[in-house]
Amino acid sequence: MSADPWVVLRQKIASAIGGRGNAAAFERMSGGRFKRKTLQSWIDGSTSPTVAELAALASYAERDLSDFLPSGSPISSPQNLTVVPMMDVRASAGPGASADVVRAVDQIELPRSFLRKIGGEGARLECLRASGSSMTPTIQDGALLILDRNRRPPPFKPQPRKAARRPQAQDEIYVFYQGADVRLKRLRHLPHDLMAIISDNLADYPIEIIEPGKEGAFEVMGAVVWWDNRL
């Protein structure tokens, strides 16, 4: 009789961190990325990690993700996974990264429940890497991104003069072509068909105002719906 895959997973997590009693030390080693109580709850079976959490754990423990996802695991069963293409370009969180043709060169299998949560129904998801420092501290150089190719910046909507002013909602992060470059920034539609290109690292990268279509090629690839700086 084969072992329960969830029990095997719990054992592998315990082995990776040096045992349940070493959870506090692993929390310190990871800089607080993995809390002691969380690790112990995974080992005890009271909660379960996501694939993304396992991937980060594997990175810290210097192991392969496949070590935690043996054949037959409930997480890794084919009916629960969706293949997401990995594109051969890095989205520049900086001045821009040149790309002639963007194509899929690899693929990542992720749980369908996770992808539905971050993208919703009808999402067209792709993975790529970030490059540069203009979106720090939010997105760091080398971060893994998941992009929804179906999402675009909302159009500009002027507020009525008599309406109570509401705080400006934080703009979503997009990957877009600008000329021959692939860039990663927040985008905001402005009056008069203008567009604001906004970095999170404003100290080094000031806001840019452009008029799409009149200053060279400009095309939004999609919105960043998830990222992880550890993977």
Tens of pLDDT, residue by residue over 39-58, are: 999 999 888 887 667 777 88
Query: Which amino acid is located at 3 in the chain?
Result: A
Q: Are 72 and 91 in contact (CB under 8 A)?
A: no
Q: According to the model, what pLDDT value does residue 101 have? A: 45
Q: What's the pLDDT tens digit per position in 144-160?
A: 898 898 888 887 766 65
Mean pLDDT across 22-49: 90
Query: In DSSP terms, which residues pair with 205 in a beta bridge?
Result: none
Residue type, 70: P
List of domains in the chain: 5-67 (1.10.260), 87-231 (2.10.109.10)
Question: Is 77's pLDDT higher than 70?
Answer: no
Residue 74 contacts residue 2 (beta carbons within 8 Å): no
> What sign has the CA pseudo-torsion 130, 133, 137, 138?
negative
pLDDT tier for residue 198 given thresholds of 50, 70 and 90: very high
Residue with tokens 């203008």: 194
> Higher pLDDT residue, 221 or 215?
221
Consecutive H or E run containing 213 = none
Contact at 8 Å (CB) between 198 and 187?
A: yes
pLDDT of residue 53: 77
Name the burial class of residue 119, with classes exposed (0-12), middle (13-18) and buried (19+) by CB atoms within 10 angstroms of its CB. buried
Give me the pLDDT at residue 14, please.
94
Structure confidence by residue, pLDDT tens digits, 168-184: 567 899 999 888 788 99
Lowest mean per-residue pLDDT among 75-89, 104-118, 155-169, 173-187: 155-169
First vs last C-alpha separation in the chain: 35
The CA distance from 47 to 70, in Å, is 19
- Identify the pLDDT of residue 154: 81
